[in-house]
């Protein structure tokens, strides 16, 4: 069963790109004491993720912050180098690009999907959540499209 509103996110070590290369970071540290919008995509550089999902959060980052969001985090089952390159390609300077290279976080919160038929392996589902001090306040999941997980939908929910 996937994580639910009211649940606390698991504390898992993942990676972000630092100034001198990949850096380990704990999810507990990323979310502690902050209001965070976390969104996940099935894969960096994939069509819908690149054309609409990430760009929506890039364009709306300031609006999210005016509604009290301390940080915006994008995660995917991709390595740190891919997440960093994807963020740079989309000018996502205001978004933390969190690499879940082994899918540990996606598995721990029960939001994986099997994309082996399309040669992608086990990936994260597309979701967006509002997290306050590590606790899930809102979780929206999209099986298709971006109706529930777009930046605009999350803005309306704040």
Average pLDDT by stretches of 10, the chain with 158 residues? 96 97 97 98 88 95 98 97 97 97 97 85 92 98 94 97
Torsion of CA 147, 91, 61, 82, to 10 degrees: 60
- In the prediction, which pLDDT does 158 show? 95
- Its pTM stands at 0.95
pLDDT at 120 (0 to 100):
78
pLDDT value for 76: 97
How is residue 76 annotated by DSSP? E
Q: Report pLDDT for 119.
A: 79
CA 134, 143, 65, 20 torsion-angle sign = positive
pLDDT at 114: 84
Q: Is position 74 annotated as part of the catalytic site?
A: no
For residue 69, what pLDDT is reported? 98
Per-residue model confidence (pLDDT) at position 103: 96
pLDDT at 121: 75
pLDDT of residue 95: 98
- The pair of three-digit structure tokens given for residue 42, joined into one six-digit string: 């099935």
Question: Which of 16, 37, 49, 77 is an active site residue?
Answer: 49
**Per-residue model confidence (pLDDT) at position 128:** 98
Query: Fold for domain 13-157?
Result: Glutaredoxin (3.40.30)
Give the pLDDT score at 50: 85
Are 136 and 42 spatial neighbours (Cβ–Cβ below 8 Å)? no
Instruction: Provide CB contacts within 8 A for 133, sequence distance 6+.
Output: 31, 32, 33, 34, 35
Judge whether 136 and 3 are in contact, CB under 8 Å: yes
* 8 A C-beta contact, residue 45 and residue 86: yes
Domain boundaries along the sequence of the chain: 13-157
């Amino acid at each position: 069963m996937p994580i639910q509103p009211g649940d606390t996110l698991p504390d898992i070590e993942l990676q972000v790109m630092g100034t001198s290369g990949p850096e380990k970071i704990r999810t507990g540290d990323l979310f502690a004491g902050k209001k965070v919008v976390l969104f996940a995509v099935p894969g960096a550089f994939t069509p819908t993720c690149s054309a609409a999902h990430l760009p929506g959060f890039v364009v709306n980052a300031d609006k999210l912050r005016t509604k009290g969001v301390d940080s915006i985090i994008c995660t995917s089952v991709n390595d740190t180098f891919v997440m960093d390159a994807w963020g740079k390609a989309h000018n996502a300077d205001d978004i933390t690009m969190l690499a879940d290279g082994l899918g540990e976080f996606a598995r721990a919160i029960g939001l994986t999907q099997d994309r082996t038929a399309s040669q992608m392996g086990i990936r994260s589902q597309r979701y967006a959540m509002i997290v306050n001090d590590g606790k899930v306040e809102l979780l929206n999941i999209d099986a298709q499209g971006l109706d529930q997980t777009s930046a605009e939908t999350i803005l309306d929910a704040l």
